[in-house]
Amino acid sequence: MAGRGSRDVRARPVLSAATRVVLWLYEHGLGGVLGRRFLLLHHTGRRSGRAYTTPLEIVGRTVSGAPIVVAGFGDADWLRNLTAGGPAAATVGRRRTPVAARRLGIPEAADALAAYERRHGPAAPLVRRLLSALLGWRYRGGAADRLRAAEQLPMVALEPG
């Protein structure tokens, strides 16, 4: 696997800008405009105990309807905070719900990735390009690529809890 710095250089500015827009919309009471596509994850720092808010794209839903999110840069702080077991909640639109994180297994994550690609139909080439930048290798969207990506990019279901 490529080192962190070599794989996310091209994707970071795009994702950073998108994150700022989503956060701005939520801060100004306009989170509902985003529908059920993005959420704000409220989590507690594992060491600091501070409250944090992280905007994330909902890449799918579990059978029970829980949102699935991906740590696009791998071992993200929000993921480590959730793994540490601190309190967490998710705001989708105007609804805030306490959540517990469940890491998806490789097959379930690959299925979620396939569904995400199908939902983006005509934008699939752009999705594959962004995934390639995040992963550090050329993602083509086949079954083997999805499994490899699912091993590399942690996916989490935010179950009500």
Contact of 103 with 62, CB cutoff 8 Å: no
**Structure tokens of 58?**
């909902």
Closest CA to 155 of 115, 96, 98, 95: 115
Global confidence as pTM: 0.85
Question: For each of the chain's 161 residues, which pLDDT tens digit applies?
Answer: 334 444 445 556 766 777 788 888 878 887 778 778 899 999 999 999 999 999 999 999 999 999 999 998 777 899 999 999 889 999 998 889 999 999 999 999 999 999 999 988 888 888 899 889 889 999 999 999 999 999 999 999 999 98
